Amino acid sequence: MAPTPDILATFEAAKGFMPVDEGLALYAAARDAGRLGLPLLEVGTYCGRSTILLADAAREGGTVAVTVDHHRGSEEQQPGWEYHDPSVVDDDPGVGRMDTLPTFRRTLYKAGLEDHVIAVVGRSPQVAKVWQAPLGLVFIDGGHTDEHAGADYEGWAPHVAPGGLLVIHDVFPDPADGGQAPYRVYLRALASDAFTEVSVTRSLRVLRRTGLGN
């Protein structure tokens, strides 16, 4: 089942990088995982484009979407890099750093989904260390270095409940198409005793927890 036209239009209008076909695959995975009645967690909020889909699926499943981000931008979003957007830089002269949190809050408000999201402002590994609850879905879409992507996998994959889903974005087997850190995380998950692949949609991979490994 696809999101409603209103939700899809809000997703397409939101600032972010996920294309529609991958968004629809993420939504389908979130609807599937939402049947477990457990929270759906996203690492890497940015401005909330994908959060819209997770939140709507969580609403349908009677659960909640949790999204984790420090809101200072990942490596490739800093000044001078390819994905830098000066419109999300704090214009206070005493700060002058990226701050995507206000844009994210506007995105959720416009989507009418604020009541279905818990936004955690902090660094993923620190949050993962204090997280105790099982999760129906973990969507890894944060920093794209080996250090950050690996830490996201190590911190959050163990929290995926049996039957739950691990979703990894920006998986590019060919280095010419993009960075390799998410691809290496994907290979780690497949090589473990924990996950089997469910679907592939361009750079989005969906895996289900079927075992006890990490």
Domain boundaries, the chain: 5-195
- Residue 212 has what pLDDT? 73
- Annotate 84-116 with DSSP letters as a single string: --GGGB---TTT-SB--HHHHHHHHHHHT-GGG
The low-confidence residues of the chain, meaning pLDDT below 70, are 73-97, 213-214
pLDDT of 8 reads 96
* CATH code for residues 5-195: 3.40.50.150
Rounded Cα–Cα distance for residues 195 and 189 (Å):
6
- Residue 206, both tokens: 């969906």
pLDDT tens digits for range 14-27: 999 899 999 999 99
How far, in Å, CA of 23 to CA of 42, rounded?
13
Q: Establish whether 144 is a catalytic residue.
A: yes
CA distances from residue 62 to 39, 58, 59 in whole angstroms, order as listed? 9, 6, 5
Q: Please pick, among 144, 148, 159, 169, the residue that the annotation labels catalytic.
A: 144
Residue-wise pLDDT tens digits, 5-52: 999 999 999 999 899 999 999 999 999 999 999 999 999 999 999 999
Q: From the CB of residue 4, how many other CB atoms can be counted at a distance below 10 Å? A: 10
